[in-house]
Structure 1
């Protein structure tokens, strides 16, 4: 029935995963988390698979996990980063098998000049590439950032603001640390003046930074290297 041991009575692992996935999806929607339909389904599926796997683990593994006192958020971020890199490498390997002359893959987006991506990003929906974004109302209600403060940051080039539609702007949530833009955001925007290009670069693994993601480095106060590379790319 399953590759795990000690299954709970009355429900299969697959059924349990489905129930948890739907509950997570509903919770995200009810709390106003801004994800498209595909991302919502993925988030629910991942949460459901993890939660449903736990009861089927051998007791020794369950006890080891229960005893873990580290940071689950950091561990989860590392898991997703590793998975994204693995998927990107698999995609590149597939592309190479079709056309060996292709040298640009999803794991190395910065290998193309940023300027070449301007029109491409302009035509793409923000939700397809920028991650979670929100407007000023959401940020004021959930992050306690007053609209006046947000607009002041925007005027000074201290926060990434992406135009959506006519005059409306949305703000990527990953750039905020403790209710403020991550340190170094303003320096990156000074170097890469197109907000879409700047955010695209900030959120992709950078070969110039040994494959690390610039926004994650800024969130960890690793500002100097990120700003240096941003200026070189510009």
Structure 2
């Protein structure tokens, strides 16, 4: 059982899990969910531990989870089937480290850690319009912001602007990254730290726990470059 302390308020993961479990149990009882006492307690404990684990994850893993838009109900059902199958196969109870032990392992026997690049691959399959905000292609930028295509492509090659692939070879560019026809300072440093453009923009365009909930791209627009770059490097 983890007793890691949350640096923000000092509560341990174990204590937080207990509070969450009590809240879940009360909610299930209040809504008349038909479970026997043992199943009710188990469901509450599991929900409590899952919810309490998230605040203690490293920033990169929290970011990856936040980008996930999968079917949570199906994942939860798969989790319980895994538990039931394991218990039925060896007759033993599932320990607190069941998920860790059932994770894919490398040939060395060590658990295989899902790299943040895999989460970037999931972003790759999502529609840009669903998460990236207002974007535009080179034609729009040339006509409206007076950015020549040659200049835009040069920035792209040098990693000075976030370019998101859309379709085959076409790229679109988030508009909020431009001020007065130029990328805001700090974009190139962020892209150096977070090489995948989609993942970099996902982080830039959302409130960041590492920056006290502020949105990195807004901070870059306010010339707070050092703080954002430091957080991006820590994240990577």
Q: Place the TM-score, normalised by the shorter chain, in its bin.
A: 0.5 to 0.7
Picking from 184, 187, 197, the partner of 1:185 is: 187
Residues of 1 paired with 2:137 and 2:196: CA distance? 19
Deviation at 1:109, TM superposition (A): 8.1
Larger radius of gyration: 2
Deviation at 1:203, TM superposition (A): 0.5
CA RMSD of aligned residues (A): 2.3
- Partner deviation per Cα, 1:38-87 (whole Å, 9 max, x = no partner): xxxxxxxxxxxxxxxxxxxxxxxxxxxxxxxxxxxxxxxxxxxxxxxxxx
1:204 is aligned to 2:187? no
Q: Which residue of 1 aligns with 2:223?
A: 221
Residues of 2 paired with 1:117 and 1:229: CA distance? 19
Q: Which residue of 2 aligns with 1:150?
A: 152
Are the equivalent residues in 2 in contact too, given 1:218–1:226 (CA < 8 A)? yes
Residues of 1 paired with 2:63 and 2:157: CA distance? 29
Residues of 2 paired with 1:116 and 1:228: CA distance? 23
Q: Secondary structure of 1:171's match?
A: strand
Q: How many residues align?
A: 138
Asked which structure has the greater RCO (Cα within 8 Å, sep 6+), the reply is 1
Are the equivalent residues in 2 in contact too, given 1:109–1:204 (CA < 8 A)? no
Residues of 2 paired with 1:112 and 1:156: CA distance? 26
User: Gapped runs of 5+ residues in structure 1?
Assistant: 1-92
Are the equivalent residues in 2 in contact too, given 1:159–1:186 (CA < 8 A)? yes
Residues of 1 paired with 2:59 and 2:233: CA distance? 17
The within-5 A match list for 1:1-234 is: 99-100=47-48, 101-103=50-52, 104=54, 111-113=62-64, 114-234=116-236
Taking structure 2 as the reference length, the TM-score comes to 0.54
Q: Secondary structure of 1:145's match?
A: coil
User: Gapped runs of 5+ residues in structure 2?
Assistant: 1-19, 28-46, 65-115
Q: Secondary structure of 2:230's match?
A: helix
